[in-house]
Structure 1
Amino acid sequence: MLERFYPNEYVNSVEDIDFDMYYKQGIRGVIFDIDNTLVPHGHPATDKSIEFFEKLRKIGLDTCLISNNQEPRVEPFAYAVKSKYIFDAHKPSTRNYKKAMELMHTDVDSTIFVGDQIFTDVYGANRTGIQSVMVKKIDKKEEIQIVLKRIPEKFILWRWKKKMSKTDMSK
């Protein structure tokens, strides 16, 4: 039952993701959440995030940002990092994950999703059939509705880690 919320991978930050490996495995598109995944909530794109997206393009990866935020938040960030974007995405609905793949000309086998929340980001990617990579949130400051979701999220991550350690021991 809880497996539908499990990420395929869980890392400290986007810098810890081996995008070269994903490219070698046939991944050509990366869908990203913005807030607390790439920058602290509400912050603009930084030089570091701009360089990060340039690195992804050099690898050969296309990108699309999908956010539940409105366009005034998403568009300037997308413009700065030179990425496609979808605002007011209604994650975890699968509709805009599919739209992001259309924009990048990818499919479920050639796309991964990167985000910081289980109940919107990871669950939506999993429902769509996309590999999901969860990153630890960047900043402690979050809106109250997100803070409240973090409580059951901790339990799900604990269960996921327990399952992963059993899988590692069986090898």
Structure 2
Amino acid sequence: MKIFEKFYPDEYTDSTYIVDYKELYDEGYRGIIFDIDNTLVPHGAKADERARNLFKHLKKLGFKVCLLSNNKDKRVRPFNDAVDAIYISNAAKPMVKNYLRAMELMGTKTENTIFIGDQLFTDIYGAKRAGLRTIRVSPIHPKEEIQIVLKRHLERIVIHVHKKEMKNSERKKDKK
């Protein structure tokens, strides 16, 4: 359905931690913008060893990395201190302004920056509006704030429609 297209990510994956970052780097990407909660760690959790190791790996590959979160500074700053990236708190996603600011801080452009997040209506929608390639990851943990739980029901519908459209598109290509 065309009305949902603005929420469709470019890719789906089960986890932030299985993305082939070397391949992204080889494709020319130099900046990655991440959501935090349910993208890198469960909602409200501190940066764990897995997140710290991921950020070390990304920097070693040559990426600039920015955390973009709607959470307050008291949530985002300690997480950022643990992973040593660039960050923007109170980001007001899906507004485009801070996606653009993240790229400015990293010194990247839309053509070489990718966004990774778990929510369609904030993370992915905002990144798409900013002109970024997007990867939607499955939420790490089911425990979420009530307003997010309500959005997840709508997300499931949009994801179902999108995946169905992708299958139909593949079938049409195979018939040609």
TM (norm. structure 2) is 0.95
Deviations 1:34-65 (A, max 9, x none): 00000000000001110011011111111000
Instruction: Pick from 160, 164, 167 the counterpart of residue 165 of structure 1.
Output: 167
Instruction: Name the counterpart of 1:68.
Output: 70
CA deviation after TM superposition for structure 1 residue 160, in Å: 1.2
Q: Does 1:53 align with 2:34?
A: no
Instruction: Pick from 114, 122, 125 the counterpart of residue 124 of structure 2.
Output: 122
Instruction: Pick from 43, 52, 57 the counterpart of residue 45 of structure 2.
Output: 43
Instruction: In structure 1, give the amino acid aligned to 2:5.
Output: E
Alignment of 1:1-171 (within 5 A): 1-169=3-171, 170-171=173-174
Deviations 1:104-152 (A, max 9, x none): 0001000000000000000000000000100000111000000000111
Greater CA radius of gyration, 1 or 2? Answer: 2
Provide the secondary structure at the position in 1 that maps to 2:45. coil
CA deviation after TM superposition for structure 1 residue 19, in Å: 1.1
In the alignment, the residues of structure 2 paired with residue 13 and residue 40 of structure 1 have an alpha-carbon distance, to the nearest angstrom, of 12
Give every structure 1 segment of 4 or more consecutive aligned residues whose post-TM-superposition deviation is greater than 3 Å.
none
Structure 2 segments unaligned to the other structure (5+ residues):
none
Instruction: In structure 1, give the amino acid aligned to 2:76.
Output: V
* Aligned residues between the structures: 171
Report % sequence identity. Answer: 49
Provide the secondary structure at the position in 1 that maps to 2:127. helix
In the alignment, the residues of structure 1 paired with residue 122 and residue 71 of structure 2 have an alpha-carbon distance, to the nearest angstrom, of 12
CA deviation after TM superposition for structure 1 residue 168, in Å: 3.0
Provide the secondary structure at the position in 2 that maps to 1:152. helix
Instruction: In structure 2, give the amino acid aligned to 1:142.
Output: E
CA deviation after TM superposition for structure 1 residue 165, in Å: 1.6
In the alignment, the residues of structure 2 paired with residue 30 and residue 49 of structure 1 have an alpha-carbon distance, to the nearest angstrom, of 14
In the alignment, the residues of structure 2 paired with residue 166 and residue 22 of structure 1 have an alpha-carbon distance, to the nearest angstrom, of 27
CA RMSD of aligned residues (A): 0.8
Instruction: In structure 2, give the amino acid aligned to 1:59.
Output: L
In the alignment, the residues of structure 1 paired with residue 17 and residue 9 of structure 2 have an alpha-carbon distance, to the nearest angstrom, of 17
In the alignment, the residues of structure 2 paired with residue 167 and residue 25 of structure 1 have an alpha-carbon distance, to the nearest angstrom, of 25
Moved more, 13-22 or 134-143: 13-22
In the alignment, the residues of structure 2 paired with residue 167 and residue 22 of structure 1 have an alpha-carbon distance, to the nearest angstrom, of 25
Provide the secondary structure at the position in 1 that maps to 2:128. helix
